[in-house]
Structure 1
Amino acid sequence: MCAAIDLSRGAAAIALMIDNARALITTISIFCLHFVFHYFLIRFVMESENKYKTGGGNSCSVHGCSNNRKKITLWKKSMCELHGEMHDHCPCLIPYRLHVMPSKELIRLEWIKSLNRKDLPKNVYVCSEHFIDGKPTDRNPSPKLKMGYENKTTPGRRKILKHQLSVKKRKLETGDSDSDMEITELDTTLESEPGASTPYEKLPEAICSFNVIEASSTVSTQYLESDFLPQKDHTFQLEVADQLLLVLMRLKLNLIFDDLCRRFGISSGLACKIFNSWIPVLADKLKSLIVWLPREVIRDCCPESFRENYPRTTCIIDCAETFIQRPTNLRSRGETYSNYKSHNTAKYLVGISPHGQIMFISKAFGGRASDKFIVEKSGFMNYLLPGDEIMADRGFTIDDLLFPLRVKLNIPAFTKNKPQLSAEDVTTTRRIARVRIHVERVIRRLKVFKILSGTVPVSSLTLFDDILLVCSALVNLRSDLIRDTNESNE
């Protein structure tokens, strides 16, 4: 009996030990599963983070640049404020792209020299913000902009070729290379400052100050030195006349500074500095050539085509646009994108007299701005008087702005909600189109300056208003757009 009891107790003890062992094994298994799960979770997170670190081929290798694929992915998944949909599906252009280092040895060496890094990753990527053309091109294959270090120019690049003009009365002072210029983001704050126009009373004084043009075809160096030197504390190793020639060649032909520096035997940085110094000075000196004429002068010079049907016309207006380099800032990109041109543009208002003289040129606005907004904010209406008549395209819906000023607007008839135009509307539209074409011809004269018909880099946008003013003044120095009542001169 006792043996049976001991046997049963032993069996119960063994069963209890087995249960405890099973519980222990279960606990250990759960712990192991937790450990394995957290191990792989931490590893996954670390790999995801390391995926976007420099050296993984997904980040820009330029020192100090934080652009990577992760930002692009997050941008695509974010909401576009302009179009009201995800960036992945909206027409907005991607902020930047990552370009891999090319395999060609010479270009590869240029990249390595430009990056100036000792710890280059295995896979080198550079974002589009560091390329002059926004991407590697045949003309600019390597990154040069915002490289994260000071690019010191060797003294040898500053030497002037022996066969070029010698130094006269001035010592060489140069700045850094133009590749070191900081790309200025486009300021999209649409200004309400008045455009360029001079009161008529100042015209005789303006004509007197430009008597050098009428006096002789020989350039007066003394006149240029006294009135047109860009800054007294800047001296350049070029004759003043050659500096002016360089600026005019840049405006008319839109030559790059690398081209100009070879033509004049100077460094690219010096050519850039000369241009940037001269443009504000020329704008200040030439702004007196853009004059708002009084009614009496306008009517005395009015062509016959205006006298017949629109004798009270004071001004013909239209907006023109110039392509600009795509800004990297998303807001600036949206403010400057023109649906009409399908490109980022700078937009400005041009006002001419009936005989073809530019009387008003506005500041530049973003391409997104409407014609009505530019008319309202540019200061154009400050020059209008009661009884004036303005001629424009049908896109200028500015009747509500002109009515309080008692100014009449002549525009072509609208066809909206009409099966067809009446005979009177057709006649009026044809008459307006026949005379309004002169403002388009003036804009074509402006676009002869290829700096306005090409693509303006972001780095030049701070000078764009002055460039526009200088080109407009030079257009006014040309022969009359309309020679007499019947003939026109393009």
Structure 2
Amino acid sequence: MKNLCPVHKCNFGTRSCVCEPPFKLFPFPTENKNPDLRRKWMIQINRIDPITNKNWNPKSHDRVCSNHFEECAPTEKCPYPSVNLGHNVKTTVRPSRKMILKHNIQKKSKSVTENTLGYSTATPYIDFVKKSSQSDHCYTGNKDKKTTGKLQSDTNHTDNTESDNTYAGKWDCSPNCACIGCFTKQQTIHKLNSQVIYLQQQLHSKSTKNMIHTTMTNNIVKDDSKTRLYTGLPNADVFDRLNKHLLPRAKRLSYWSGSKKIVSTKANRVFKKSKKFGPKRKLSVKDEIVMTLMKCKVGMNSELLGDFCGVQLSVVSQVLNTWLKFLAYELKPLIHWPDKEITKETLPHVYTSIAQNLRCIIDCTETYIERPRDMELQAQIWSDYKIKHHA
């Protein structure tokens, strides 16, 4: 026998039934959209997983009945389940924090003039001058009376006349006074003067050293013959063009700082700040180019390059490791590599029978380099022909 609705006498669960359901089911808030509300629902329900014996974690198919809400549904006033849960729960909702608003504060008008303010602040200092002058320069009773009368007359004179410097009091010390205050003042002045002289000497030596290194670099790239001798470039004009081409990207270089870190040959992206990150550059871009080219062309020792440019050996190693990779990346398009068809057309007849697919002939060129610390590297780069370390 079918169950009939006691009110409308209709079948349960059929389309013809117009009865409202006895309750509604509400899903848990999702972890992505509202994790705090989901966690609060779990705390209110206070259910323990029977398998793991830990706090129960609801799944996607779990629902909460409307009978567990005060208004039969989650609302802004009562968003959590709090009724018929089998335990007492707190239904109070913490109010949201008030927003902090900015208010325009009116500026207070200056009710006290500068002269009045200066006079009021100078009064304690004048009293201090009176006491110190009396204690330092009064040795007998007669002198005490004379000095006191003189101080009173000076104070009255100061009160009646307006002074440009209202913060200063009347001081009765002679030019060759030997009191404690004057002696301490002279010691402080001599100490500060010696510090100023020392700092001026240090600043002058720094500027002179930088000027010497800058002058040496400019002298190298000023003359075509010296430019060709030290850098290997044909003339100074080519060096200036190379410097202008590399300058924008060289300002944003990430310098080499060890074998574990990667040297970036690409310039960093600029967002807000355009200046270079990290410590201040000790050499200019022009000096670093000259240092790298001199290392490649002349093969100078790194310590000699450091003395030449006025930097330490670690800075020379850092600059060379960075600039060698940077120049290889930037000047790679200058290497001319002809097509295979052009190479076959211009191939000499001597090689047509020997090697038809010949593209290039690599000459055995050896460049003198410094001796490395690793013994295996020393054995690999040793040349028995020239009895030196070559690469």
Common fold by TM > 0.5: no
Under a length normalisation based on structure 1, what TM-score does the superposition of the two structures give? 0.23
Under a length normalisation based on structure 2, what TM-score does the superposition of the two structures give? 0.28
The structure having more radius of gyration, on CA atoms, is 2
Structure showing the higher strand proportion among its residues: 1
Larger RCO (CA under 8 A, 6+ residues apart): 1
